[in-house]
Chain A
Amino acid sequence: MKILVCIKQVPDMESRFKPAADGLWFNEADLAWRINEYDEYAVEQAVKLKEQLGNEPEITVLSIGPDRVVEVLKKALAMGADRAVHVQDSAPQQKGPWQIASIIANYARDKGFDLILTGMQSQDRGSAQVGVLVAEFLGFACATTLVGFSYVDGVIHAKRELEGGLKGLVDLRLPALVTCQLGLNIPRYPTLPNIMRAKKKEIETLSVTSLLTEEPLAITTQFYAPARKEGGLVLEGDLNEMAQQLVDILQEKTSVVR
């Protein structure tokens, strides 16, 4: 079995975001980068499946971006992926989901992947399109937002998270692509021996221009912080004073505190 896991590097979401000079995305200065949380579940699920199948499957992990994305590829290798593909692109944020999906599909086509895993969305752009588009481009069966995954006798039994705690149960035949929701599994921490072992694994570098065939179908024209609630009050300073202020406000504005 050949498995592909598509991962994205995103800024720590606790960061304070400031618009870049072009006003179309955030300024990357001073940001800490990490693996997109949803994609970490995808890597873990691939490694679990490899373990279940007696180590037979080969896991390739792919990321698109500048040199810094090699860090998330190394993390995935240390978690248990076998090899990595770095699609070198200095400005992936300027490409729409349609283009990103086409790059991945152009890479994956004719390579014989049986299963592709990725996150249901990225934490920074949140378009929730790339996984499904890749499946459509490749003609793979696809289910999104998995909170349950098992593989028995060549069939994936997936549990999709719906609204209000309801789940949808779906069986998928290979080749298939699934997108992972938070809480699907418990991603492992790479151990030191595995981090050392990962250093010997192959990271192939490809140029994005060799894989990009599509024009964008939508473009970003502005990027900014949302307005705070009108009339919303911000309290800062001494904790005791703020507590008393808040009690007074609750007594005045709500019927639940007297």
Chain B
Amino acid sequence: MKALLVCEYREGKLLDTSYELIALADKLGVDKAAVLIGSEEAVPKMDGTVYLADAAVCGEYNPAAHKAVILAAVAKENPDYLIFCHSSYGWDLAPRVAAALKAGQITEVVGIVDGGFEVGCCNAKMRRVVKPTSAKVVLTIQAGAFAAAPAQGAPRIEPIEVTVDGQGLTFTGYEPAEAKTIDLTRAEVIVSAGRGVGKKDNIPLIAALAKALGGELGASRPVVDAGWVEHSLQVGTTGQTVAPKLYVACGISGAIQHLAGMKKSDFVVAINKDKDAPIGEVADVLVVADVVQFAPILTAALQK
């Protein structure tokens, strides 16, 4: 059995998540080759073949060209698995490759189990096991679900050239992230507000708790989308990825994107009405309570 790993490259660099692909291939116990649309300096350190196409020619985001490069590598390697990161790059590209190969795709894999792959569903509240029935299988893997393999080895580089045609799509550039007023990645304590705080007027209750703990205020995506707090305070894959000594999740159910952004915290407290909320998966302590009632009481207890 063999896996073709689709590495990720952005703004001139290999993304570290590419090593998580190697980790999954090793866990599956299959031979591996990789494909990178990037540059020779950015080739991952691994054993085996890396098929390399030039991002200066193909573009960093050109799904039609990237699909063509991957299909050229598939023609040479005939892999059983094609593995992508479940990222803005992977979830955009993987189904295009799956369609071309008529391969079943299993999205956002978090584990390998007997007879299939484990994935989250129902907003991370539940899990499914999915079993492929096609000859080739496309997998996208959840960020952080498989600890990155060490960067070691020297690959054999094989260049791939394709005719580049955007097929109706033109990438025109990047818009940088908004400047951060507070760098949450340096905070020792983060107290984050989620949808469970109910309304904007309740945000000060969470901010007061953050202050009592000597920490910073953070937020989940719905709270930012609703305009209750500024975007720079968003924790999660599309905001900041944090690992403080203490993380307090207030009224946050624990969508996958949020969990991926905070699950490396040393100690996690969740305050949630719903005992079954997926945040319970990563919480060291789950307080079953309405955070709007509980936060002021906890703040007072801390100030004693």
Binding site for B on A (CB under 8 A): 11, 13-14, 16-17, 26, 96-98, 120-121, 123-129, 132-133, 136-137, 140-145, 159-176, 182-183, 215-229, 231-236, 239-240, 242-244, 246-247, 249-250, 253-257
Q: How far is the CA of A131 from the CA of B302 in the complex (A)?
A: 49
Q: Is B297 interfacial (CB-CB < 8 Å)?
A: yes
Chief secondary structure at chain A's binding surface:
mixed
Q: A128-B91, A141-B167, A225-B126 are in contact. Are A254 and B177 (CB under 8 A)?
A: no
Q: How far is the CB of B163 from chain A (nearest CB, A)?
A: 17
Known interface pairs A127-B107, A221-B129, A229-B282; A173-B168 also in contact (CB < 8 Å):
yes
- Looking at chain B's contact residues, the main secondary structure is mixed
B99 touches A136 (CB 8 A): yes
Who on chain A is nearest to B120 by CB? A126
Q: Looking at the assembled complex, report how far the CB atom of B177 sits from the nearest CB atom of chain A, in whole angstroms.
A: 3
Q: A216-B104, A236-B288, A239-B294 are in contact. List 17 more A-B contacts (CB 8 A).
A: A13-B122, A98-B104, A123-B123, A126-B107, A126-B120, A126-B123, A133-B98, A141-B167, A164-B177, A164-B239, A167-B174, A217-B104, A220-B128, A247-B301, A249-B285, A257-B213, A257-B302
B289 touches A239 (CB 8 A): yes
Could you tell me how many residues of chain B have their Cβ less than 8 Å away from some Cβ of chain A? 99
Q: Is B152 close to A, CB under 8 A? A: no
Given A168-B61, A256-B213, check contact A226 B126 (CB 8 Å).
yes
> A170 near B171 (CB under 8 angstroms)?
yes
Contact across chains for A221 and B280 when beta carbons are under 8 A apart: no
Q: Are A170 and B302 in contact (CB under 8 A)?
A: no
Quick one: given A164-B238, A182-B222, are A226 and B281 in contact (CB under 8 Å)?
Answer: yes
* Contacting residue for A218 out of B86, B100, B134, B189, CB 8 A: B134
> Does B125 make an interface contact (CB < 8 A)?
yes
Indicate whether A168 sits within 8 Å of B174 (C-beta atoms), given known contacts A129-B98, A243-B297: yes
